[in-house]
Structure 1
Amino acid sequence: MNKKQLPFYLTFFLSIILWGCAEEDSASESPILAKGYDRHVELHWPKTDGINDYEVWVSTENNSFSKRTTVQDTMYMDFVNDLGNNLTLKYKIVGLNEQGENLEIGTTQANTMDFSDEELINMVEYYTFRYFWQGAEPTSGMGPERIHIDGDYPQNDQSVVTTGGTGFGIFGIIAAMDRGWITKEQGVARFDKMVSFLENADRFHGVWPHWIYGETGKARSFSDKDNGGDLVESAFLMQGLLAVREYFKNGNENEKNLANRIDHLWKTMEWDWYTQGGHDVLYWHWSPTHEWEMDFPLEGYNECLITYILAASSPTHSIPASAYHKGWARSGGINTDVEAYGYPLHLKHNGSEAMGGPLFWAHYSYLGLNPKGLTDQYANYWEENKNHTLINRAWCVENPNDYKGYGKDLWGLTASYTTTGYAAHRPGGDLGVISPTAALSSIPYTPEESLNVIKNLYYNYGEKVFGRYGFYDALSPENDYYPKRYLAIDQGPIVAMIENYRSGLGWKLFMGAPEIQEGLKKLGFESNP
């Protein structure tokens, strides 16, 4: 366990007790905690002085112990496909010191059981939420840009937090309170830490940078000239924060105070500044040293719709509707009339007009903004996102490059790690890498098709693709590529969209903000979910 995750160790055990997806298996007197799922058992034990390595041993009913692995961590996820289904298992943890001497830490019992579809989805949502709970950067409480289980951080950015990814993960923390995985008091404390950090972190005309050092609140440059305000990432962050405000605004004194502080952050964001002095378009970046040199106007269609919704909804620094229609919609030039695999698209997906862009375009703006029944003069956003998803899936099913593993139960192209670094995968720009977030975050649009991917990944790939914070960021059976790495911007949409599929919680909260309803009307949207 990473030393920065140790403060959240006890929280894990509390959330096990609170969560009813699967029964707690550990004997109360044992120092080992074990929880059985469908195809794996998660084990935790206390760190022991003088012990460098731990052996995990298991015994099925009435059989002798056999060794499963040797680890240096004090947490292990044992995938037991080789042992069978619906098992009663006994575990033993043995510590090894530098002299090679054995010390038995303890024993415990765990049971695995067949999961219903609902239990499986619940498990995936819960594990993914843990990225933003157990895995949070400890000083700020924010979501780290990345977590590498393999420990290799080539950019030395373990303490760097992401504004947009945190905004996505906020929806998971709200869901965790609502489902009883954490208490409301714990949620308030975490959000208080986040808001305190954001109140004192670098801001540029009320807008946060893409990356921030979690220990200091200082901006970390995203690129040479991108060292100031990032309007889009800040929009993703505020989308989540407004949902928190709505969740707590009628609560107790502490909860109302938190909601009021978020409201202040919201009202001090200078959306109008990011029009470069009144131009009919928003610009992505402003730098205190390079000013507008990035010169990146937000023109549709891509992941940035939520930026215009928030900018138009601002009660203090609103933009005119003309910026949306002339800038984002390009005076009507945003529209197209293309079809792929029998599914029409009515918006020009920037650089990917024929078959749509990477699937995060159907996710990032819609964690709070409910696409169901959302229309304006340019599109029906539910139909656009659903067709975008189905085209992406159809490409993978057709598999024109004949990549290994692709099919009805393994599809989904979006921005993620790849064999050579990072890429925005899409039809026509397919490198043979499947990103689990693509199909999983699409579950509101394609529930059965997305569930098939979840089942295939968990039951057939197992420990290659599933770890302590849910499914890893990317995989490529074609290249035998299974990195044990996570990115906040990919984990966040998974937990947020699974919860929207199950309860619509994030949609209800964000759409319940009165300013958002006014902003949508101002831009000519109709919303009838």
Structure 2
Amino acid sequence: MKISSYILAVLLLSSCGTNKKNIDTAIGLTDKQLLDTVQYHTFQYFWDGAEKNSGAGRERIHLDQPDYETDIVATGSTGFGIMGIISGIDRKFVTRKEGVERLMKILVFLKKADRFHGAWPHWMYGESGKVKPFSTFDNGGDLVETSFLAQGLICVKQYFKNGNAKEKELSALADELWKGIDYDWYRNGKNVLYWHWSPNNQWKMNFPVHGFNECLIMYVIGASSPNHGINKKVYDEGWALNGAIKSPRSYDDIPLQFLHQGDAPHGGPLFWSHYSFLGLDPKGLKDAYGDYGMETKNMAVINYKWCVDNPLNYKGYGKNSWGLTSSYSITGYAGHAPQQDRDLGVIAPTAAISSIVYTPKGSMAAMRHWYEDKKAQLWGKYGFYDAFSDNANWYTPRYLGIDQGPQVVMIENYRSGLLWKLFMSDENVQAGLKKLGFQSPYLK
């Protein structure tokens, strides 16, 4: 089995009981070794840190509260973790056999878990697969989280479809699961997709999803579904608001094309450039309304530039420490973004690291600074902590699965394009993108 000498050293030292953090500190890392280190440790959130019964991605892990919510898994986190496990197999962090066994465990759990017209809930109990309500009326299907998971299932299908008998079985199960999502039901009879449905609360959440935000993948997979698909009118009227999604804006002459939900003047939280684009490659992805490759990249560039400009004069912001997105915050959870009322002096490493496909120099600079200069405050068992504030001297050793996953996947896409190639090569995805009028270098 081929494996980088650095990762081999890490594994050998770890197996001997040596403190990995101390070893890393003693090594002057090349860029490749730094990427290996961050990707490997963050991957462990979904491997070593997975919920024990299901193997699925936990909603959160608090190193300062080791017994906190250990049984809660999140559908989106699980989807991102599935893609991370594929990356881990390909990087030889685990063997292919180990990876297949873990993925089969997760998919069997998902097949038995609660579903609502094919959609999984936002949260589930790992022991039973039963829904854990996310809020008072949100105790049913969550189509957005489900679509994040479906993105991962399609990658599993593609990665293992030509493998041995066990791998083909895994591929077929992944294909079956995502094709069972009833996107047409979640229209609620209208030309838009709704986020939630509950068997006892019905459509009471009343959240029709319009763009631009993190949800493009929901419309793309909905159009790709061969069994329960949506047509182009749902995309045009729902996501694109009959063309009103086009709403040009800019920051420091860096243009954005779309109306970002909430009318964010300089773009929304940076996860909007990540979650839908872990499998859906934005490069060259265009439709009648705009260029998604340009939008996702410029969001990251604006986010970087805002932190460098630092209009609110927060301590610690700069060229090597930046990134605003939804994350843990000083007083809870917040949707940090580059605007006066949403920049709270809190930086989330996932924002810069997951943007490495858009801003490689800025992302590497931040990663290196945090690892070499601030490791004692920011680094733990599963990589960089979710968020921190130099301004408030706030460093809490906690992780969120939905923020860890994009780091593993986008580092892999930056290095090899693996998850992009898998997802974009799927015949159903290609048919769905064509149905919606997209152009992409992947389309035949």
Tell whether the structures are fold-level matches, with TM greater than 0.5: yes
Secondary structure class of the residue paired with 2:209: coil
Q: Deviations over 1:225-269 (max 9, x none)?
A: 000000000000010011001001111111111111111112211
1:242 maps to which of 154, 159, 163:
154
- Residue 500 of structure 1 corresponds to which residue in structure 2? 413
Secondary structure class of the residue paired with 1:295: coil
Shift of the 323–149 alpha-carbon distance from structure 1 to 2, 3 Å rule, reads same
Higher mean C-alpha displacement, 440-449 vs 345-354: 345-354
How far apart are 1:183 and its partner, in Å? Answer: 0.9
- Residue 174 of structure 1 corresponds to which residue in structure 2? 86
Q: Deviations over 1:2-34 (max 9, x none)?
A: xxxxxxxxxxxxx9x955325538999x98433
How far apart are 1:78 and its partner, in Å? Answer: 3.1
Structure with bigger strand share is: 1
Shift of the 390–26 alpha-carbon distance from structure 1 to 2, 3 Å rule, reads closer
- Distance, in Å, in 1 between the alignment partners of 2:93 and 2:23 is 23
Q: 2:211, 2:260 within 8 Å by CA — same for their partners in 1?
A: yes
- Distance, in Å, in 1 between the alignment partners of 2:159 and 2:9 is 30
- Residue 526 of structure 1 corresponds to which residue in structure 2? 439
Matched, 1:133 2:47: yes
Q: Deviations over 1:275-307 (max 9, x none)?
A: 002x10000000111000001001001000000
- Distance, in Å, in 2 between the alignment partners of 1:463 and 1:21 is 21
Secondary structure class of the residue paired with 1:422: strand
1:147 maps to which of 34, 38, 61:
61
- Residue 22 of structure 2 corresponds to which residue in structure 1? 78
Matched, 1:391 2:308: no
- Residue 313 of structure 1 corresponds to which residue in structure 2? 224
2:177 maps to which of 265, 278, 300:
265
How far apart are 1:394 and its partner, in Å? Answer: 1.1
Secondary structure class of the residue paired with 2:399: strand
Secondary structure class of the residue paired with 2:328: strand
- Distance, in Å, in 1 between the alignment partners of 2:104 and 2:364 is 35
- Residue 295 of structure 1 corresponds to which residue in structure 2? 206
- Distance, in Å, in 2 between the alignment partners of 1:143 and 1:406 is 31
**How many positions carry a matched residue from both structures?**
440
- Residue 512 of structure 1 corresponds to which residue in structure 2? 425
Q: 1:26, 1:33 within 8 Å by CA — same for their partners in 2?
A: no
Shift of the 206–79 alpha-carbon distance from structure 1 to 2, 3 Å rule, reads same
Unpaired runs of 5+ residues, structure 2, are none
Matched, 1:324 2:235: yes
- Distance, in Å, in 1 between the alignment partners of 2:376 and 2:139 is 38
The aligned runs of 1:39-438 (5 Å cut-off) are 41-42=19-20, 77-78=21-22, 112-151=26-65, 156-277=68-189, 279-428=190-339, 429-438=342-351
Give the letter aligned to residue 395 of structure 1: W
- Distance, in Å, in 2 between the alignment partners of 1:143 and 1:251 is 25
Shift of the 22–261 alpha-carbon distance from structure 1 to 2, 3 Å rule, reads closer
Give the letter aligned to residue 298 of structure 1: V
Give the letter aligned to residue 21 of structure 1: Y
How far apart are 1:338 and its partner, in Å? Answer: 1.0
Q: TM-score, normalised by structure 2?
A: 0.96
Q: 1:140, 1:194 within 8 Å by CA — same for their partners in 2?
A: yes
- Residue 461 of structure 1 corresponds to which residue in structure 2? 374
- Distance, in Å, in 2 between the alignment partners of 1:317 and 1:297 is 18
Give the letter aligned to residue 69 of structure 2: D
How far apart are 1:151 and its partner, in Å? Answer: 1.1
Give the letter aligned to residue 223 of structure 1: S
- Distance, in Å, in 1 between the alignment partners of 2:350 and 2:7 is 24
Q: TM-score, normalised by structure 1?
A: 0.81
Shift of the 396–312 alpha-carbon distance from structure 1 to 2, 3 Å rule, reads same
- Distance, in Å, in 1 between the alignment partners of 2:221 and 2:38 is 30
Q: 2:326, 2:333 within 8 Å by CA — same for their partners in 1?
A: yes
Q: Deviations over 1:452-496 (max 9, x none)?
A: 000110011012101111100001000110000000000000000
- Distance, in Å, in 2 between the alignment partners of 1:395 and 1:322 is 37
Secondary structure class of the residue paired with 2:73: strand
- Distance, in Å, in 1 between the alignment partners of 2:15 and 2:358 is 44
How far apart are 1:408 and its partner, in Å? Answer: 0.6
- Distance, in Å, in 2 between the alignment partners of 1:319 and 1:27 is 50
Q: 2:192, 2:208 within 8 Å by CA — same for their partners in 1?
A: yes
- Residue 442 of structure 1 corresponds to which residue in structure 2? 355
Structure 1 residue runs of 4 or more that deviate by more than 4 Å after TM superposition: 25-28
- Distance, in Å, in 2 between the alignment partners of 1:516 and 1:212 is 27
Give me the CA root mean square deviation: 1.8
Secondary structure class of the residue paired with 1:401: coil
Q: Deviations over 1:297-353 (max 9, x none)?
A: 010010000000000000100011100001110000000111111100001111143
- Distance, in Å, in 1 between the alignment partners of 2:231 and 2:224 is 10
Percent of counterpart pairs with the same letter?
A: 52
- Distance, in Å, in 2 between the alignment partners of 1:477 and 1:211 is 32
- Distance, in Å, in 1 between the alignment partners of 2:83 and 2:8 is 26
Q: 1:411, 1:439 within 8 Å by CA — same for their partners in 2?
A: yes
Give the letter aligned to residue 391 of structure 1: I
Unpaired runs of 5+ residues, structure 1, are 1-14, 35-40, 43-76, 82-111
- Residue 94 of structure 1 corresponds to which residue in structure 2? none
Structure with bigger helix share is: 2
- Distance, in Å, in 1 between the alignment partners of 2:165 and 2:354 is 35
Shift of the 268–224 alpha-carbon distance from structure 1 to 2, 3 Å rule, reads same
Give the letter aligned to residue 273 of structure 2: A
Secondary structure class of the residue paired with 2:248: strand
- Distance, in Å, in 2 between the alignment partners of 1:430 and 1:484 is 21
Q: Which structure has the higher relative contact order (CA within 8 Å, separation 6+)?
A: 2
